[in-house]
């Protein structure tokens, strides 16, 4: 029975690489090309070329209209801010009133009570993504957030 260990496999790989290198050297000396034998490393790590085959022409560029570059509708303009103030301040105000940890839905309801004005199409997604980085707010549990000062 064979004793298969990582050190034995590593040694076998080193031997295989040496054998293939000697075969290539022999083929170079004789001026012949040896086909890759089954079970060799010819198609693995470093032996396989990427890209197109030698002598083959590159693909022709697509003809037609040039692709339009996306430009922000706010380019060169000041980004609009909410008349009700920055989001971080508004969230902190809601959490101070609550007295304990809140989830995103509860914070969103509190912001709605304070008439916070959103400049996005989906406020819940926006708040869910931004609440992790808001100043003065920390995560206290799965889906729960609280003030840093209460921690």
- The distance from CA 145 to its chain's CA centroid, rounded to whole angstroms, is 26
pLDDT digits (tens, 9 = 90+) for 111-125: 999 888 887 888 899
Residue 30 pLDDT class (50, 70, 90 cuts): confident
Residue intervals in the chain for CATH 1.10.10: 87-150
Q: What letter would DSSP give residue 104?
A: H
Task: Name the β-bridge partners of 146.
Answer: 138
Q: What is the dihedral of CA 106, 111, 115, 117, to 10 degrees?
A: -120
d(CA 51, CA 36): 20
Helices (H), ranges, the chain: 6-30, 87-98, 104-113, 123-130
d(CA 137, CA 103): 12
* Topology classification of domain 87-150: Arc Repressor Mutant, subunit A (1.10.10)
- What's the pTM value of the predicted model, to 2 decimals? 0.47
């Amino acid at each position: 029975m064979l004793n298969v260990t990582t050190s034995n496999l590593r040694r076998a790989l080193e031997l295989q690489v040496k054998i293939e290198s000697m075969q290539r050297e022999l083929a170079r000396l004789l001026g012949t090309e040896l086909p890759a034998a089954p079970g060799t490393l010819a198609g693995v790590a470093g032996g396989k070329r990427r890209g197109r085959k030698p002598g083959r022409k590159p693909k022709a560029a697509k003809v037609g209209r040039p692709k339009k570059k996306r430009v922000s509708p706010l380019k060169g303009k000041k980004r609009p801010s909410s008349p009700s103030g920055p989001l971080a301040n508004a969230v902190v105000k809601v959490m101070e009133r609550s007295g304990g940890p809140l989830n995103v839905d509860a914070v969103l309801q509190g912001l709605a009570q304070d008439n916070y004005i959103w400049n996005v199409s989906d406020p819940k997604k926006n708040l869910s993504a931004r609440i992790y980085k808001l100043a003065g707010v920390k995560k206290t549990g799965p889906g729960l957030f609280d003030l840093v000062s209460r921690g």
